[in-house]
Structure 1
Amino acid sequence: MEKMLQVEIVTPDRLVLDEKADYVSATGIGGEFGVLPNHVPYLTALKIGSLYYKANGKNHYAFISGGFAEVSDNKVTILAESAELVEQIDLERAKKAKERAEKRLASKEDYDQSRAEIALQRAIIRISLKSSNGL
């Protein structure tokens, strides 16, 4: 019986993560889901959110900006529009993005409201991940 999962996070630009893990959790469109070794095949669209995985007794986190997750043969593949490991998140940049999005949402100008809401959501999740993991 397999005791580890292979976890890959791939964006159009790069391979963000390729590592063995004991457990993986992410935010699908139907809610949070978790994967242990020998999980049944599974496919879901992802919401903007976080990915958590446990490897070598340590907890690791990543930001995922939508995409898809596939679970098959003890491998979790995340195909994301964009992704960052928590260590790669620039906290100051995320705070500035949050401020810009809030200003756009408060403005009466003709901004694309849904784009501003998505930008705000991404910034809030990045800030939360970075702040809660003390990095």
Structure 2
Amino acid sequence: MNFLKLRISSPEKLVFEESELLSVTIPTANGEITILPGHIPLVSKVIHGEIVARKRDKEHSLITTEGFLKLSAAGEIEILSDYAERSEDIEIAKVERAKKLAEETMREKKSESEFILAEAELRKTLLELKIAQKRRSKVKGI
């Protein structure tokens, strides 16, 4: 059986690297796509959302902001993202503090550029909270 290999990097670090994957679901500018072994080579823009990488016995969940993906004929997926994080590494208390700060900055609206940056941070924190809570629900079996 053929498998996929996934590598996700951000400017700060290598976020995720795994092989022997059965499928990878990625949010793209053209909609969510699921890549299976044997998929044709592809280059696409990645958008805010959840990446799900599935193995036989495990599912990995990650969040991503904007970036790009490249899929080779050999089934190797490379994602370069402005920001990416494994769902299990998301610290809810830290994210909630960042969310409050972004909301306060948006309310104060000191400048247009600060508002735009705060809005992007708010979108990211809301996504992090959603994915982290979803993962914790699965772990608890709810």
The normalised TM-score by structure 1 is 0.91
Residues 66-90 of structure 1: CA deviation (Å, up to 9, x unaligned):
1111111211111112211111111
1:113 to 97, 112, 115: 115
> What is the Cα-based RMSD across aligned positions, in Å?
1.5
Between 1:8-17 and 1:117-126, the stretch displaced more is 8-17
Per-residue deviation, 1:110: 2.5
Q: Which residue identity lines up with residue 79 of structure 2 in the other structure?
A: I
Deviation of 1:108 after TM superposition, in Å, equals 4.2
Q: 1:122 aligns with which of 114, 121, 124?
A: 124
Unaligned runs of 5+ residues in structure 2 are none
What is the TM-score of this pair, normalised by structure 2? 0.86
Runs of 4+ in 1 over 3 A off after TM superposition: none
2:6 alignment counterpart: 7
Q: Distance in 1 between matches of 2:13 and 2:102?
A: 26
What is the CA-CA distance between 1:30 and the residue it aligns to? 1.8
Given that 2:109 and 2:115 are in contact with CA atoms closer than 8 Å, whether structure 1 keeps it comes out as no
Give percent identity, aligned residues only.
25
Separation (CA, whole Å) in 2 of partners of 1:53 and 1:16: 13
Higher normalized strand content (fraction of residues): 1
Amino acid at match of 2:52: Y
Q: Equivalent residues in 2 for 1:55-134 (5 A)?
A: 55-72=55-72, 73-110=74-111, 112-134=114-136
Contact 2:23–2:37 (Cα < 8 Å) also in 1:
yes
Matched residue count: 134
Residue 6 of structure 1 aligns to a residue in which SS? strand
Matched letter for residue 29 of structure 1: A
As a proportion of its length, which structure holds more helix?
A: 2
> What is the rounded CA distance, in whole Å, between the counterparts of 2:45 and 2:116 in structure 1?
19
> Which runs of no fewer than 5 residues in structure 1 stay unpaired?
none
Is residue 2:39 matched to residue 1:39?
yes
